[in-house]
Amino acid sequence: QLRVSGPRLVRPPATLSLTCTVSGGSVSSPSDFWAWIRQPPGKGLEWLGTIYYTGSASYNPSLNARLSMSIDTSRSQFSLGLTSVSAADTAVYYCARHIVVPAALMFYLDDWSQGALVTVSS
């Protein structure tokens, strides 16, 4: 089970910070990656980034300069940071377990959190 925590209102141009807590499992599992996805109101899904328990991460190229992710295996948590936010960053944010199996040519998100609406407004 995954749960998102963090401020739901962020003032521009501050940094948006969210944490995903994984219960009933471990972020240290070598077979699992962990992802952030967001969905602006009334729009589609956007992949933000994926992190491995080693700390290695990949980011959406369109947000790469503002994005950072970290992982805390002792707390079974991983986190998202998005700098210099604007109203365009208002969205429902999800965290999810990302199964990455390049040898089988498949990649999928099989366990999602409930969404967390983060509003960017002054």
Q: Phi, psi (5° rounding) for residue 88?
A: -65, -15
Please say which residue, 88 or 122, places its beta carbon nearer to other proteins: 88
The piece of 23-31, 65-73, 77-85, 105-113 that touches other proteins (CB under 8 A) is 105-113
- Measured from the CB atom, the residue of 9 and 101 that comes closer to other proteins is 101
- Residues 6 or more apart whose Cβ sits within 8 Å of residue 22: 1, 2, 34, 76, 77, 78, 97
Stretch of 14-22, 66-74, 75-83, 113-121 contacting other proteins, by CB under 8 A: 113-121
Task: Let me know: does 98 contact 33? Beta carbons within 8 Å.
Answer: yes
Q: Is 68 in the site for other proteins (CB under 8 A)?
A: no
State the minimum distance, in angstroms, from the CB of residue 21 to other proteins. Answer: 16
* Other CB atoms within 10 A of residue 22 CB: 22
The C-alpha torsion from 90 through 39 and 51 to 71, rounded to 10°, is: 50
Q: Does 58 bind other proteins (CB under 8 A)?
A: yes
In the complex, the residues that contact other proteins under the rule CB under 8 A are: 35, 37, 44-47, 50, 58-61, 94, 99, 101, 104-110, 112-115
